[in-house]
Amino acid sequence: MRVELLFVTPEAEALIARCARVSHRSQGSGMEDDRRLIRKLINLGHESVLEHAVATFEISGISRACANQLTRHRLASFVQESQRYVNVEDRELVRPPTFSDEDWEKARALFQEAKKLYQALLSKGVPKEDARFVLPMGIETRLVLTANFRELRHILRLRLHRSAQWEIRELARRMWEILYTCAPSCFEDLRALAETREER
């Protein structure tokens, strides 16, 4: 799994605080003052001002099963690698941590057979959009996600929870680490969720 930040609103915390102060016609006195204001707003549940900052991630090496969960967050914007147009023969299978070595070898053998069938179908002139039907949900994919900070907080609250599926939890944890570095006051209250390991 690879999670790369492509873009984040520059000086996001300063922008959010400035937007928040419009409602009370108040002034700030620097970064720490801005961060105190943001923490207060989050504690009060007034997160709408967080919508003024956005982040864009490129995510690769996750399964299509994980991508399907992620794209359910409708307030985010996505572009996903198309199995309709891209030959995905070079993609690997994502290994669930619950698979024993023996089970993983069996899964990989089945996956190799599926890829052979996929290539055979393509060589017969079957369109990629139809040949892909033989590929498993565990095949790697790649996508770009853009969302505002409020929606990112929503995604992280749900996907960092210990009841979330292991792969999307790991993805959310990596996104949280990046976002916390960029705008700590906007994401620091999610640290406990991010640092909680999944129970099996």
- Residue 100 CA, distance from chain mean position: 27
Q: Give the orientation angle of helix 166-182 with respect to helix 149-159, to 10 degrees.
A: 140
Are the CB atoms for 35 and 13 separated by under 8 Å? yes
Closest alpha carbon to 35 in 182, 157, 137, 151: 182
Residue 72 among the catalytic residues: no
Q: Which residues contact 118 (CB under 8 A, 6 or more apart)?
A: 88, 89, 131, 132, 134, 135
Mark residue 46 as left, alpha or beta (left: phi above 0; alpha: psi -120 to 50; beta: remaining).
beta
Choose the catalytic residue: 132, 159, 169, 173: 159
Q: What are phi and psi of 155, to 5 degrees?
A: -60, -45
Amino acid present at 131: A
What's the CA gap between 86 and 50, in Å, rounded?
36
Handedness of CA 162, 164, 167, 172 (dihedral sign): negative
The catalytic site residues sit at 159
